[in-house]
Amino acid sequence: MAQTTTDAMQFERIEAGSLVNEARRQIRRSILAGSIRPGERLKDSVLAEQMGISRSPVREALRLLEQSGLVEKTANRSYRIPTFAAEDFEELAALRAADEVLAIRVIVSQRLPLDSLEAAIQEIDDAGADPAKGAAADAAFHAAVVRLAGFPRLVERYSGLVDQIRLMLLASEMETWGRDARLLTNHTRLMDELRRAMDGGDMHRLIRAWEDHVFGMQPARSVHPL
């Protein structure tokens, strides 16, 4: 049976503003910080009590989080943090690769400035050995790549994947992520390939490197971290 940990979690009391949005923000923050592990249950009554609100906005917040893939409804209609199977990794990796490869094609063809990506690389470096910060910095780097392409619809489509990707990375790498320099090294390598392509290098080489990086998050490949 899945463990229940909400009794030990700390949430801020909500005094004003949109109750649903604020409840969603706090629950999402705790999930993506790794405070709640895959398979663990969320009790709306406990969450509501800690936030000082009724159960209704908490239930609505959980419903919204379900739509974004951060929680799932169980057979008894309660919620829990989802676990991931190999096919989930494969599907998210394929969708992610398609969006990111489109973005890097645009970046190279238009020779767009890479300042925002350099800043994202610095965030990865600053994350150090903290696995939650590493997951956030990794997701931020790839989101920055997609934003740089300048296609609003692409950004909107990709944003629907970001939280699920980040949760999956936390779930798969929580125990080992950030304990060495591979996270920074791998992303620095991507930046080197991107610059090389922009300087007239082989675009196919960049795409292969990018796809290898993205598909490396699949457990079957035994390649990590991203």
pLDDT score recorded for residue 128: 84
Q: Which residues pair with 4 in a beta bridge?
A: 41
pLDDT digits (tens, 9 = 90+) for 20-52: 999 999 999 898 888 888 888 998 999 999 999
Q: How far is CA 211 from the centre of its chain?
A: 17
Mean pLDDT of 168-190: 72
- Please tell me which of 81-90, 135-144, 190-199, 214-223 the model is most confident about, judged by mean pLDDT: 190-199
Given a cut of 50, whether residue 179 has pLDDT beyond it is no
Is the distance from CB of 83 to CB of 38 less than 8 angstroms? yes
Any alpha helices (H) in 149-202, and if so which ranges? 152-173, 182-198
Residue 38 amino acid letter: P
Report how far residue 66's alpha carbon sits from residue 60's, in angstroms, rounded to the nearest whole number.
Answer: 10
How many Å apart are CA 122 and CA 168, to the nearest integer?
22
Count the alpha carbons within 13 Å of 73 in the hemisphere toward its beta carbon.
Answer: 11
Q: What is the pLDDT of residue 129?
A: 79
Place 109 in a pLDDT band, splitting at 50, 70 and 90: very high
pLDDT at 74 exceeding the cut of 90: no
Structural domains of the chain, with CATH: 6-80 (1.10.10.10), 86-221 (1.20.120.530)
pLDDT interval class at 115 (50, 70, 90): very high
Joined tokens for residue 114: 């890479």
In this structure, the strands spanning 79-80 and 72-73 are: antiparallel
- pLDDT score at 223: 37
pTM tops 0.85, yes or no: no
User: pLDDT band at 55, cuts 50/70/90?
Assistant: very high
Q: What is the pLDDT of residue 175?
A: 44
